[in-house]
Chains A and B, each alone.
Chain A
């Protein structure tokens, strides 16, 4: 049997690069769902919002999409903090997060998507940047910069997040809030404020993830829905709240998806993440690096 080695390796590389990007997309969910236990299914909507902001500023003023997203980080942080405040006051405080809180996020997801459709239509939008197009050759394999730049930035984002969570005071407080809110209160830290900061942080990552998304592929409003399954699959597979686990799981999913679309056709790729998610939930709900 003639196994297409070169095709396989190319596909593996593409998968790893894609996986790195998936990790960036998932990092926000990893914080909100994994650590704070808030099932923010609207997260992909914020990512798409980030993409469109990058798109507007890129086409109107020619700004670099990634640079735009870095400038937008604080805006998204405050947006996230505000959303958490609403969520806390309306649902968490009343103990209604299970049903109405979920419906709330679903509503936000939906309103954002439809709102973007109304403003921008369902056409695919893309950005211009020097690193979209060219690729570098390394050991005989093509590495498109369009994939490589997001990959490296994702790794950077991950490193920064890991540093924030393990080294800074606020980061440690965030890790503590998920384990023992009472102890935190005894240390005179307000758990609500810390959760708000954490949720803001998680939405802030969406700004960067959105810019990376529109660098990698053209975006239209409903693209976000494809990512719901992916991000939750990665988050659960990686073990809730574990950033290193998330990174591994993201790479895994990237490779599996890439191999699937190379050997079976791209139309099957969306099912991979969801299939993986269902299998994980059924057989190993604590994830590969689960506690």
Chain B
């Protein structure tokens, strides 16, 4: 599909989504939907630099916050409509993106990544010390109650973010298929060869940082009106930095659809999960999924669907142990957060099945998968006195454990013990069985 056509189609889809959403009575839908859309923009923006050019930006939160604080500043001086604010936020973040790139992109790639980490802290310090925008205390931005024609103001914000999403996704897709996109891909593949083929790598990298930064700023601009009260801690929040990396990585970085899939998936899960589990566990889940995906499925969900192939080295003993331990963590915390949250834990049990299966297949002991089954079963069984087996186990583990613990924790510990035994046993089998060659 040609890019202008795609843009029109995307616009129509956006309009349909917006029109349909008008029938949703629940205001919460708009609040949650806004966040998901905002993450689609952030992930797409990150991917233009990270996925297309291969340069990691850890400072998404900084660019986002710049947009937000540009709005706060303008709000204090002379309030202006949202589209203007978005443009201003985009310009400010775009300039900062350009400057950061200009200072560091002539050096090795790692320096750019480190500089973006640094940028977030510098900007946060500046904002904290800048009293005009509220400093460390934060600033209130009163959201109007209603917007002409649309009714509630949150619907208006939702609509604006939807429009920005359509523009950025269509834009990313257009870039991907253009001369510029090909140039970006050569930078990702081999910068030396790119230069030798006449690609002005520095200029293209600067274009990418500028576009990427500007889009992040635009995503941040309406944020103060959405949240009503901005303080440095929220605007520079960890969630933005980790999500904008994890979403494209999980969705797939080489095409425009990857970040969209990743953002919709992770964004929705997080919006649903915040109701049942704490935000810290939420972030833990995102972080672990990020590690899982970069190791198991380097090309994300898109890559899994396209190649039907999974990274082949994931079953080495050390990798196996690390993935196992990491993926046990959320099941522990989710179980602690109560029954409702345990369903999300199933995702991690599934990953554990997969990891054990891959390991087992390599050493010819596929039945190793039985250990995660036991663990999953134990952590899902509701602990009641009607199930004698479980309560016996509980009593036993309470006696053994040197902590004073409640029954769910005891079950958890038992399941963990079984897990760990299985894992160690699985890893030890490697020594006794001569490694079979992978097909």
In the complex, identify which listed stretch (B32-40, B155-163, B255-263, B286-294) lies at the interface while the others stay far away: B286-294
Partner of A103, one of B245, B281, B286: B245
User: Could you tell me the distance between the alpha carbons of A102 and B290 in the complex, rounded to whole angstroms?
Assistant: 11
* Residues of chain A with a CB closer than 8 A to B281's CB: 118
* A267 and B294 within 8 A (CB): no
Min CB–CB distance A126 → chain B (angstroms): 22
Q: How far is the CA of A85 from the CA of B319 in the complex (A)?
A: 8
In the bound complex, residues from chain A placing their C-beta under 8 Å from that of B280 are: 114, 117-118
User: B253–A99 contact, CB under 8 A?
Assistant: yes
For A232, the chain B residues whose CB sits under 8 A away are: 114, 117-118
User: What residues of A have a CB within 8 angstroms of the CB of B122 in the complex?
Assistant: 271, 274-275, 278
CB neighbours of A91 from chain B (8 A): 294
B319, A102: Cβ atoms closer than 8 Å: no
List which B313-367 residues lie within 8 A (CB) of chain A: 313-314, 316, 318-319, 321-322, 326, 329, 333
B267 on the A face (CB < 8 A): no
Interface residues of B in 119-139 (CB under 8 A from A): 119, 121-122, 124-126, 128-129, 136
Chain A positions within 8 Å of B291 at CB level: 104, 107-108, 111
Query: Does B6 touch A at the CB level, under 8 Å?
Result: no
Instruction: Output the least CB separation between B242 and chain A (Å).
Output: 5
Pairwise interchain contact A281-B103, C-beta atoms closer than 8 A: yes
CB <8 Å contact, A271 and B114: no
User: Quick one: which of A69-96 are within 8 Å of B by CB?
Assistant: 82-83, 85-86, 89-91, 93-94, 96
Q: Which of B278-303 contact A (CB under 8 A)?
A: 280-281, 283-284, 286-288, 290-291, 294-295, 298
- With an 8 A cutoff between CB atoms, is A56 at the interface? no
- Chain A residues, Cβ within 8 Å of B329: 111, 115
**Complex-state Cα separation, A189 to B56, whole angstroms:** 33
Number of A residues with CB within 8 Å of any CB on chain B: 48
Which stretch of B12-20, B104-112, B405-413 is in the interface? B104-112
- Chain A residues with CB below 8 A from B69, complex form: none
Judge if B167 is at the interface, Cβ distance under 8 Å: no
B87 at interface, CB cutoff 8 A: no
Taking a contact as CB atoms under 8 Å apart, the answer to whether A118 and B290 are in contact is: no
A282 CB within 8 Å of chain B: yes
Residue in A closest to B113 when the chains form the complex, CB atoms: A102
The answer to the question of B58 belonging to the interface, with a C-beta cut-off of 8 Å to chain A, is: yes
User: Is B50 interfacial (CB-CB < 8 Å)?
Assistant: yes
A226 close to B (CB within 8 Å): yes
| Shortest Cβ gap from A85 to chain B (Å) | 4
B249 lies within 8 A of chain A by Cβ: yes
Q: Which residue of B lies closest to A81 (CB)?
A: B318
- List of B residues within 8 angstroms of A225 by Cβ: 121
Q: Given A103-B290, A226-B121, check contact A110 B238 (CB 8 Å).
A: yes
Complex alpha-carbon distance, A270 and B114, angstroms: 15
B114 adjacent to A94 (CB under 8 Å)? no
Cβ contact of B128, chosen from A86, A94, A267, cutoff 8 A: A267
Contact status of A111 and B118, CB under 8 A, knowing A90-B311, A98-B54: no
- B117 adjacent to A228 (CB under 8 Å): yes
Chain B residue numbers with a CB within 8 Å of A265 are 129
Among candidates B118, B321, B333, residue contacting A118 with C-beta atoms closer than 8 Å = B333
What does DSSP make chain A's interface, helix, strand, loop or mixed?
helix
CB-based nearest A residue for B333: A118
Cβ of B115 < 8 Å from any Cβ of A? Answer: yes
Beta-carbon nearest neighbor of A119 in chain B: B333
- Per the 8 Å Cβ criterion, residues 216-272 of A in contact with B are 225-226, 228-229, 232-233, 236, 265, 267-268, 270-271
CB distance A93 to B318 under 8 Å?
no
Chain B residues positioned under 8 Å from A181 (CB to CB) = none
> How far apart sit A161 and B424, CA to CA, in the bound complex (Å)?
34
Alpha-carbon gap, A115 to B318, bound state (A):
21
* In the assembled complex, A41 has its CB within 8 A of some CB on chain B: yes
A90-B115 contact, Cβ under 8 Å, with A82-B321, A114-B283:
no
Contact with A111, one of B288, B294, B313 (Cβ below 8 angstroms): B288
- Measured between beta carbons, the chain A residues less than 8 angstroms from B107 are 281, 285
- A100 near B114 with CB under 8 A, answer no
Q: Which residue of B lies closest to A108 (CB)?
A: B291
Contact in complex: A111, B284 (CB < 8 Å)? yes
* A29 smallest CB distance to B (angstroms): 10
Cα of A229 to Cα of B122 in the assembled complex, Å: 10
Q: A100 to B298, Cβ gap below 8 A?
A: yes
| B326–A267 touching, CB < 8 Å | no
**In the complex where A274-B118, A274-B122 touch, is A86 in contact with B295 (Cβ < 8 A)?**
yes
Is A106 among interface residues, defined by CB-CB distance under 8 A?
A: yes
B283 shortest CB reach to chain A, Å? 5
Distance, CA A107 to CA B286, complexed state (A): 9
A278-B276 Cα distance, complex, nearest whole Å: 42
Q: Closest B-chain residue to A117, C-beta based?
A: B280
List 4 extra interface pairs beyond A86-B322, A110-B242, CB under 8 A. A117-B280, A229-B118, A277-B118, A278-B115
What is the interface of chain A, defined by CB distance below 8 A to chain B? 33, 39, 41, 82-83, 85-86, 89-91, 93-94, 96, 98-100, 102-104, 106-108, 110-111, 114-115, 117-118, 225-226, 228-229, 232-233, 236, 265, 267-268, 270-271, 273-275, 277-278, 281-282, 285
12 contacts between A and B (CB under 8 A): A86-B319, A106-B245, A114-B280, A118-B281, A228-B117, A228-B118, A236-B111, A268-B125, A268-B129, A270-B121, A274-B121, A274-B125
4 residue pairs, one from A and one from B, having the closest CB atoms: A271-B125, A107-B291, A274-B118, A110-B287
Please report B residues at the A interface, Cβ cutoff 8 Å. 50, 54, 56, 58, 103-104, 107, 109-111, 113-115, 117-119, 121-122, 124-126, 128-129, 136, 188, 238, 242, 245-246, 249, 253, 280-281, 283-284, 286-288, 290-291, 294-295, 298, 311, 313-314, 316, 318-319, 321-322, 326, 329, 333
